[in-house]
Amino acid sequence: MDGWITDTRSGTRFKLFTRANADEVGPEPFSPLGWSLGWVKGNGPGAADGFVSFGIVTADELAPDHQIFGNWGGYFYNSVSLSRLLGVRMPGVSVDAIDKAYFGDNPNIPPYEADPADEDPERSEALGRTLAWVMSTDSVPAMSEQLVRSRQVQAARPDFGPMDDRDLVAYARKVVGHIREAWGPYCEVVLAASIGPGAVSAICDAIGRGPDAVKLFTGIGGVESAGGSVALWALSRLVRNSAALTAAFDQGLVGLLDRLAAMESPDASRFLSDLHAALAEYGHRGPNEWDLRSPCWSTNPEMVVGMVDRIRLQGDEHNPSVVAAAAGRERSDLATEITGLLDSDAETQAAFVAGLRSGVLFYQLREAGKSALIRLHFEAKLALFELGRRMCASGAIEESQHVFMLVDSELDGFLADPTGWAATLTERQKQFDALASLEPPYIVDSRPGPSPIDQWPTRQSGTKRRVEVGETLRGAPGAPGKATGRARVVHDPSNTDLEPGDVLVCRTTDPSWAPLFLATSAVVCDVGAVGSHAAIVAREIGVPCAVSVVDATRLIPEGTTISVDGSTGEVTIVGLQSRQA
């Protein structure tokens, strides 16, 4: 296979793309329909709107051949060139600072190559105004409006039953229009979220308190992506405190929901009722949730039950609400202390206070904004799931998810002759499955594009070097705290046997993974930065987290005892408990 049907065409200006910080958005390949409809029609144009309104670029600079996001072999890529443009054009910011904020300490990012076209006094002036706004505002009305709007769209969902197939597609496309509208302010929020913490980090470094920077954004409250973890924690306490529920869970997860529904037990009824409420509020979350094809908690509630099964083993001292409250008090005390240390420098003190306020606001809005967008994706997803279900039931396609092997421009032709597409979609599914086993290039220059897909290595290929007892793998701080435990390398949050005290080691996480944090003593991620979703949620629920620990999932053998320092991003090998390959 030389290329894939959703490959991004060659660019001419903003040429450099990376998987850094993209693994969190799309850890797996995006389906053809998920990319061509959800991203090409919704997320991408909306992000372009945000880059323009933020002041980084003009609309003319983002001509059709200039890409905000890239996709090769189904894999999602971020534009390094556009991110660095913020560092070049924004007063007081540097390319190095942008790289650190977005990519952590990953050594594989190539150095910036200056381009005369990157300098633009008008954009710098506009960004100066944006910077002043970011550091002074206490609200973002455009984003707040979209938070409300996403719930209104969800509440107004039509009954899919009487709708014909074309109406289902029309509904999905209409929702994608809402996605584009929401992405503009969300993009601004994401861009702004690194500015306040960047200022705080620089000030902390300057006064010799560098490790405290991450602590100052711990337990901030109001982080919507942590809400699902709190809800699942409450479900786990119902199980832990009920003999009947504990016995039901101890029998295994297969058929558990059916067994609970058949039980004549007030505890079982309470659990199912609370589970229903949790799914109503957080059911749009799920692994790889930016892809319209991916299942979510509502379409696969067994995913939630599996996480509750792990969390129920933890003692009550890990209650995320209690831990977050304590962290919030410590954060407040630390902020007061450092503010006092700056009494002799009023300008720096004001910048520190403004950076704290800005960081908290935009971290909160970043997580709320993502949740709003995933709610909208969920709406389009449900309509397309229903279309796939119907086509499979009628015998037009082999599997319901084969509908996602179409690109958006093919949908109307498919509806006119579904059976004529069956063989094509079956073959595409085989190719798509093969893509998931590959390791995409870390960096892509869009002018020549990547090497042919059939030359990409598989994820399990390559020589795994030995790690030694006492060796320290260095990443970036994600969430403060220290913990030592058994490493459990996890690639699928719905299939794990984590136990209390284990350390979760993963490539990356999104908010749907967050409840698993409650079943662990610490989290280690291959990729990410201090502003990654994993880091924000880990700080909120009080779990030490190290991010950008390059190749941690390959270097750390399953069962190895490791020590994690979330304030420094260091992971130390304490004991090799399993034979390395």
CATH number where 571 lies: 3.50.30.10
Is position 580 within any domain? no
CA distance 221 to 353: 17
Helices assigned H by DSSP within 207-265: 212-215, 227-240, 243-250, 256-262
pLDDT at 311: 95
The total number of structural domains that make up the chain: 2
Name the packing angle between helices 80-89 and 121-134 (round to 10°). 90
Whether residue 531 is found in the same domain as residue 411? no
Decide: 401 and 293 in contact? Cβ < 8 Å: yes
Cross-strand pairs, 438: 458
- Cβ neighbors of 110 (< 8 A, separation 6 or more) are 16, 80, 443
User: How deeply is 579 buried, as exposed, middle or buried, from its count of CB atoms within 10 A (0-12, 13-18, 19+)?
Assistant: exposed
Whether residue 91 is found in the same domain as residue 200? yes
* Among 410, 435, 460, residue at a domain's last position: 435
CA distance 146 to 181: 8
Whether residue 519 is found in the same domain as residue 401? no
Whether residue 200 is found in the same domain as residue 148? yes
Share of the chain above pLDDT 70, in %: 97
Whether residue 157 is found in the same domain as residue 22? yes
* Among 435, 457, 492, residue at a domain's last position: 435
Whether residue 120 is found in the same domain as residue 50? yes
Is position 465 within any domain? no
Whether residue 77 is found in the same domain as residue 179? yes
Is position 226 within any domain? no
Strands 16-18, 443-445: pairing kind: antiparallel
Is position 275 within any domain? no
Is position 191 within any domain? yes
Whether residue 427 is found in the same domain as residue 549? no
| Half-sphere exposure for 46 (CA within 13 Å, toward CB) | 25
Q: Nearest Cα to 272, choosing from 250, 251, 317, 242?
A: 242
Q: Compute, in degrees rounded to 10, the torsion defined by CA atoms 31, 35, 37, 38.
A: 110
Average pLDDT, the chain: 92
Is position 10 within any domain? no
CA distance 123 to 488: 47
Decide: 338 and 352 in contact? Cβ < 8 Å: yes
pLDDT at 370: 95
Is position 189 within any domain? yes
**Residue 25: which domain range?**
16-207+345-435
Decide: 444 and 80 in contact? Cβ < 8 Å: no
Is position 443 within any domain? no
End-to-end CA distance of the chain: 30
DSSP 3-state of 313 = coil
Whether residue 92 is found in the same domain as residue 200? yes
Whether residue 156 is found in the same domain as residue 22? yes
In the predicted model, residues of the chain with pLDDT beneath 70 are: 65-66, 101-106, 461-464, 495, 578-581
Whether residue 423 is found in the same domain as residue 526? no
Whether residue 492 is found in the same domain as residue 359? no
* Among 390, 410, 435, residue at a domain's last position: 435
